Chain A
């Protein structure tokens, strides 16, 4: 790693890794054999299992994104027929949302880090944690089954009556997949809440918790309270298809909008399930690489909880043009604006954390900067869409697609990659190639903007989403977008390659390569199965870099 430029404000310099050595015993080599992984109760191993599975599904979902962009290269419908195209974007949506974004940070980084960050040996319910992974796999299998059997073309929203009456594809298979994967998510959230309440180490009070824990806690509340509503909505859709019950069928007296209410009651909070853990990652990374305590710690912590609570009051802004009453649209539009407040609190506090910090530009920090810019754009365009008049013009166009991807890919995926790069040395004990990873971060950033910035313009000009053909005058922007998607594909494939390479050939990382303050950095990397050799006692605040320096100074005299 390049020696960072050290300003006079720098409290710590990064350690010399030439002296680092791999510990003899750690969670990866503690037990051998396939079964020891498949039946493990160790939160770190389950996190790794999750990491491999979500990466697999990410690249499948990404392949569908590639196919969509390929079709949209030309205005004519020349690559696939319209219903095949529908299946492409449905699969892209289902896989990316339910099998990648929802479990991404919580199930991998959260599983790995939350027990360590609070000083516990494991999550409260290791077996339920493992069950969660198996449920995820079953959900994934059903999704793949729906794909192999011939696909499903409802869009990821399963809108009734389209999904109940007009389609002859594998809706029930896909619905089962989402139902089961939903329970995987519920169990992860349940486990986190109990663990954070019950398993904290001595002295680890709520306001000494790292902000990553706070944001995962807030997301867990949403998982536990929101997901079952999706489950019942999905069950009712399946029953309507299977035995023709009429809860959503207008000809039998049902109301199709009831489905939308139930669906968005989960699926709006779901975007906060996806983004909140990412925000937690960003708090950790920004603090570490500017060597400062996060500005306004309690404001950032409470803004996570505020986002979670507000998240339950805004869902009908997805339904403004679908027949909800004008009055309720007014109410929901107003409430939607409120969510901007806690999100802005976070962005401003991160900016103030950077101010006068000793900033270094390691890979996770580059991703974090990408997150801040892209999430701000995504968030602000969200305010456009929350405004009633604008929404009627922009909804169901590419503007929505661009907004959503700015928040989810530009925000969440950048945060996920920031987190993976930040904690990779802890998870594997090895470093990746720093120049390559910086390059791929920059490539992702450029590719991302090239892909989705034109889509804002396309949407504003009126190009509708979910069509496989478009008027010829939109081609230039679409070609730009497809070119960007190609660059983005390279940016996402590179980490896969160099991270896999680093598993064997990477430099030994040492315990604390970033000189971060979190409890997870004070133990060996990779950690022991039991995490800690003795129960840690916490008598200091989170992000206390001066304390770390004192500890560091003491160690130099004692360790030979």
Chain B
């Protein structure tokens, strides 16, 4: 029965498997509070003149909020590596689209970009 070891129908020995984790309402409340605070900071930070750092701060907060939603509301923190890699692959491909296209646009007009 050496093949028994390989049987992963219920994905017990499989790195692609994760137990069904239940996030409690209390944890959700913390996340909710964090997101609301993030929104308030976003609006307040936009009113301070930070020059070129304004969009950077705004995007950094948005990314943080998105990561929090993905990790907790969408349970990715408790998911298998497979799901984590899948999420990463999506954002990676988007980054490829953006950077590789920008290579063209930025080098079309050096210095003017």
In-complex A–B contact (CB below 8 Å): yes
Is the pair B6, A225 in contact by a Cβ cutoff of 8 Å?
Answer: no
Indicate if A254 sits at the interface (CB-CB under 8 A).
Answer: no
Contacts of B93 in A (CB 8 A): 225, 312
Convert A249-281 into 0s and 1s, putting 1 for each residue whose CB lies closer than 8 angstroms to a CB of B. Answer: 000000001000100010000000000000000
Q: How far is the CB of A424 from chain B (nearest CB, A)?
A: 32
Give a binary string over B1-19; 1 marks a CB under 8 Å from any A CB, 0 the rest: 0111011110100001000
- B82 CB-CB contact with A under 8 Å: yes
A539 to B6, CA, bound (A): 9
Which residues of chain B are within 8 angstroms of A312 by Cβ–Cβ distance?
93, 96-97
B104 CB–A CB distance under 8 Å: yes
- Tell me, yes or no, whether A325 is within 8 Å of chain B by CB: yes
Q: B111 CB to closest chain A CB, in angstroms?
A: 13
Total B residues in contact with A, Cβ cutoff 8 Å: 22
Answer whether residue B51 sits at the interface, using C-beta atoms and an 8 A cutoff.
no
Interface status of A200 (Cβ within 8 A of chain B)? yes
Q: Could you tell me how many residues of chain A have their Cβ less than 8 Å away from some Cβ of chain B?
A: 28
Give which listed residue, B3, B96, B101, B104, contacts A202 with CB less than 8 A. B3
Chain B interface, DSSP helix/strand/loop, else mixed = helix
A229 touches B8 (CB 8 A): no
Contact of B107 among A204, A257, A328, A539 (CB under 8 A): A328
Does A538 make an interface contact (CB < 8 A)? yes
Q: Which residues of B contact A539 (CB under 8 A)?
A: 2-3, 6
Q: Tell me whether B97 and A316 are in contact (CB under 8 A).
A: no
* Residue in chain A with minimal CB distance to B11: A198
Q: A197-B82, A312-B96, A313-B96 are in contact. Are A538 and B3 (CB under 8 A)?
A: yes
Query: Is A324 located at the chain interface by the 8 A CB criterion?
Result: yes
What's the least CB distance linking A32 to chain B, in Å?
33
Tell me if B107 and A327 are in contact (CB < 8 A). yes
A476: B residues at CB distance < 8 A: none
Report whether A202 and B89 are in contact in the complex, using a CB–CB cutoff of 8 Å.
no
- A316 with B7, Cβ < 8 A, contacts A225-B93, A325-B107, A327-B107 known: no
Q: How far is the CA of A537 from the CA of B2 in the complex (A)?
A: 11
Does A313 contact B3, Cβ atoms closer than 8 Å?
no
A534 to B: closest C-beta gap in Å: 13
Q: Which of B85-113 contact A (CB under 8 A)?
A: 89-90, 93, 96-97, 100-101, 103-105, 107-108
- The 8 Å CB contact of A316, one of B6, B89, B100, is B100
Q: What's the nearest-Cβ distance from chain B to residue A152, in Å?
A: 27
A331 interfacial by beta-carbon distance below 8 Å: yes
Q: How far is the CB of A452 from chain B (nearest CB, A)?
A: 31
A324: contacting residue among B7, B90, B108, CB under 8 A:
B108
How far is it, in angstroms, between the C-alpha of A332 and the C-alpha of B99 when the chains are bound?
12
Bound-state CA distance A537–B8 (Å) is 11
Question: With A197-B16, A313-B96, A313-B100 in contact, do A325 and B8 touch (Cβ < 8 Å)?
Answer: no
For residue A203, which residues in chain B have a CB less than 8 angstroms away from its CB? 3, 6-7
Whole-angstrom distance between the Cβ of B32 and the nearest chain A Cβ: 30
A205 at the interface (CB under 8 A from B): yes
Question: Contact between A331 and B96 (Cβ–Cβ < 8 Å)?
Answer: no
B6 with A261: CB separation less than 8 A: no
| B104 & A316 in contact (Cβ 8 Å cutoff) | yes
For the complex, give the distance between the alpha carbons of A313 and B11 in Å.
34
A205 and B103 CA atoms in complex are apart in Å by 40
Q: Of all chain A residues, which has the CB nearest B1?
A: A537
A221 to B7, CA, bound (A): 25
Q: How far is the CA of A325 from the CA of B112 in the complex (A)?
A: 14
Cβ 8 A contact of A331, one of B2, B3, B97, B103: B103
Q: Tell whether A229 pairs with B6 under 8 Å between CB atoms, given A316-B104, A325-B104, A325-B108.
A: no
Interface residues of B in 21-42 (CB under 8 A from A): none
CB-CB nearest in chain B for A208: B6
Contacts of A315 in B (CB 8 A): 100
Task: Please give, as numbers and ranges, the residues of chain A lying within 8 Å of B11 by CB-CB distance.
Answer: 198
The answer to whether A205 and B108 touch across the interface, beta carbons within 8 angstroms, is no
Q: How far is the CB of B1 from chain A (nearest CB, A)?
A: 9
Decide if B108 touches A537 in the complex (CB within 8 Å): no
Task: Give bound CA distance, A222 to B13, whole Å.
Answer: 29
| Chain A interfacial positions (CB closer than 8 Å to B) | 197-198, 200, 202-205, 221, 225, 229, 257, 261, 265, 312-313, 315-316, 323-328, 331-332, 537-539
Extra pairs beyond A200-B8, A325-B105 (16, CB < 8 Å):
A202-B8, A203-B7, A225-B89, A225-B93, A229-B97, A257-B104, A313-B100, A323-B108, A324-B108, A325-B104, A325-B107, A326-B107, A328-B107, A328-B108, A332-B100, A538-B6
The 5 closest A-B pairs by CB, nearest first: A202-B7, A327-B107, A328-B104, A325-B108, A203-B6
21 contacts between A and B (CB under 8 A): A198-B16, A202-B3, A202-B6, A202-B8, A203-B6, A203-B7, A204-B6, A205-B6, A229-B97, A265-B101, A312-B97, A313-B100, A316-B100, A326-B107, A327-B107, A328-B104, A328-B108, A537-B3, A537-B7, A539-B3, A539-B6
